[in-house]
């Protein structure tokens, strides 16, 4: 049988976390500096609170200088020069895992700019660059899929959304069985739980990491939305669907309606947290629900510090902390 990878759950130990420093003015037409400050804060928090080494991609010496100035002194952050496009490395970098022998492996799906919406230089090339840089075994498939579209427990259970994985702008004509067979050919795979759709105003067409996340091998966390939430019709069925799949379900509140400075609605959700070695970094949106969400997530991770960081400026560009991070697992 063809070699397959096990992608560890995010709460398993990381050797480091990869991020990319924003630099494209076209992507951030009016808030590039604010997005850069957020990524700097995230890097520092992962390194200091999360006890996890950070490897930050920087486009050139000028970008590195800006990053160093914002982050400050740290012995646990490496600056790695590379050609990359935007900062959403959850999607542009491969998923990293282990081969049956324990060596580092990578799974690369085809990337088409989130359904041909965005076309930044090097978004496609950076995945293979990282694989070569790490000397990892690369398994590839022609399925169009981003890392943020898959949630997993490290034991073979995956969650995704039909609105993304089966969208005609990615995989026209494919059925659920086709996607499942593709994953089975690459990964240690037991089952794929299908949710119907993701958040409104999410330009990824509904990445699952915005709506449901594993917190241990049989427990997921999702949003319990109030009637005034703009995504109530999206999130209301999710809890029941996950319970029907046999999972224990915890919930966090919705942040409610969150808007960009220009008035555009944003796909805000607390599920887009990052699980570092010793901390969980939760996106905050400057609303009263922030503290309640932090407390609920803390009960799900009793052995980790839970830290809230402002994510509103980053979300204006399309994502939050899980979207901007790609963990590299510790070698076995």
First vs last Cα of the chain: how many Å apart?
A: 22
51 vs 53: CA distance, rounded Å: 7
Q: Per residue, what are the HEC states of 205-224?
A: CCCHHHCEEEEECCEEEEEE
The Cα 111–Cα 92 span in angstroms is 7
Q: Which contiguous run of DSSP H or E holds residue 113? A: helix 113-116
Q: CA-to-CA distance for 29 and 24, rounded, in angstroms?
A: 8
Q: Give the whole-angstrom CA distance, residue 201 versus residue 204.
A: 9
Please enumerate in sequence order all residues whose Cβ is within 8 A of that of 224, keeping only pairs 6 or more positions apart, or say none.
Answer: 235, 239, 251, 252, 253, 254
Q: Is 323 a catalytic residue?
A: yes
| DSSP reduced 3-state for 90 | helix
Q: Which of these is catalytic: 17, 87, 164, 323? A: 323
* Sheet order of strands, 191-195 included: 151-152, 157-161, 191-195
Report the alpha-carbon distance of residue 270 to residue 272 in Å, rounded: 5
Distance, in Å, from the CA atom of 165 to the CA atom of 172, rounded to the nearest integer, reads: 10
Annotated catalytic sites, by residue?
323
């Amino acid at each position: 049988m063809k070699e397959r990878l096990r992608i560890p759950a995010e709460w398993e130990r990381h050797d480091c976390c990869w991020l990319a420093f924003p630099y494209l003015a076209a992507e951030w037409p009016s808030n590039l500096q604010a997005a850069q400050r957020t990524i700097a804060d995230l890097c520092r928090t992962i390194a200091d609170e999360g006890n996890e080494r950070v490897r930050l991609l920087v486009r050139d010496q000028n970008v590195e200088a800006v990053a160093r100035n914002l982050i400050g002194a740290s012995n646990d952050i490496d600056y790695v020069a590379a050609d990359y496009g935007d900062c959403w490395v959850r999607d542009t970098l491969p998923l990293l895992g282990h081969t049956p022998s324990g060596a580092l492996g990578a799974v690369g799906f085809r990337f088409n700019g989130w359904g041909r919406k965005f076309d930044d230089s090097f978004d496609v090339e950076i995945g293979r660059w990282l694989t070569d840089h790490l000397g990892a075994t690369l398994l590839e498939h022609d399925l169009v899929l981003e890392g943020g579209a898959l949630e997993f427990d490290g034991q073979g259970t995956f969650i995704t959304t039909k609105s993304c994985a089966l969208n005609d702008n990615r995989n026209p004509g494919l059925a659920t069985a086709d996607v499942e067979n593709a994953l089975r050919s690459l990964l240690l795979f037991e089952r794929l739980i299908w949710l119907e759709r993701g958040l409104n105003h999410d330009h990824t067409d509904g990445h699952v990491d915005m709506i449901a996340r594993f917190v241990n091998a049989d427990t997921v966390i999702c949003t319990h939305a109030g009637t005034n939430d703009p995504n109530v019709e999206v999130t209301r069925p999710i809890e029941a669907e996950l319970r029907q799949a046999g999972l224990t379900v915890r919930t966090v509140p919705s942040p409610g309606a969150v808007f960009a400075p220009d008035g555009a609605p944003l796909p805000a959700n607390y599920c887009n947290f990052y699980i570092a070695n010793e901390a969980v970094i939760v996106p905050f949106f400057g609303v009263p629900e922030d503290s309640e969400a932090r407390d609920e997530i803390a009960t799900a991770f009793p052995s980790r510090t839970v830290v809230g960081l402002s994510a509103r400026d980053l979300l204006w560009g399309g994502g939050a902390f899980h979207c901007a991070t790609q963990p590299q697992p510790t070698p076995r």
